[in-house]
Amino acid sequence: MKSIYSIKATSTGGRNGHVHSDYNLIDADVRLPKALGGSDDEHLTPELFFAAGYAACFDNAVMHILRLEKVRSATPVVTAKVDLLQLESGFLGLAVELYVEIPGMEHQLVEGIVNKAHQICPYSNATRGNIEVKLIVK
């Protein structure tokens, strides 16, 4: 395989620490969510970064399928909901729900596009078989 893009992010202090990335694009504190003993949920968490990345990547995959199939549409909207799970083993895990809306397009057509996007999205490929990902067409 040939790398076509690389970027780095560094963490110090884990979930109650600081993250920064190349070019200082990210330079922020992260905090424990309330469910893990934090004071509230109004801070950056690793799950928020994952949700933002997956939403943007999947949205791009949807737009790519629309271009390939020469489908004219309104701008797609993708929302990623990431759940931090308490597994039976006692460890933590993740689950994702991807909500996709393409205003003005028939539900069945959007479902087909979303399923194709799920096959080509790098985040979907990375998570396939590892975590549950639900696709929900609005």
Rounded CA gap, 29 and 14, in Å? 10
Spatial CB neighbours of 74, under 8 Å, sequence gap ≥ 6: 102, 103, 104, 105
24-41 tens-digit pLDDT: 999 999 999 999 999 999
**What are the pLDDT tens digits along the chain (138 aa)?**
999 999 999 999 999 999 999 999 999 999 999 999 999 999 999 999 999 999 999 999 999 999 999 999 999 999 999 999 999 999 999 999 999 999 999 999 999 999 999 999 999 999 999 999 999 999
Is-above-0.85 flag for pTM?
Answer: yes
- With vertex at residue 71, the alpha carbon angle to CA 107 and CA 76, rounded to the nearest 5 degrees, is 60
Rounded CA gap, 95 and 84, in Å? 7
Which H or E run contains 64?
helix 46-68
- Within a 10 A sphere around the Cβ of 84, how many other Cβ atoms? 15
Domains by residue range for the chain, with CATH: 1-44 (2.20.25.10), 46-137 (3.30.300.20)
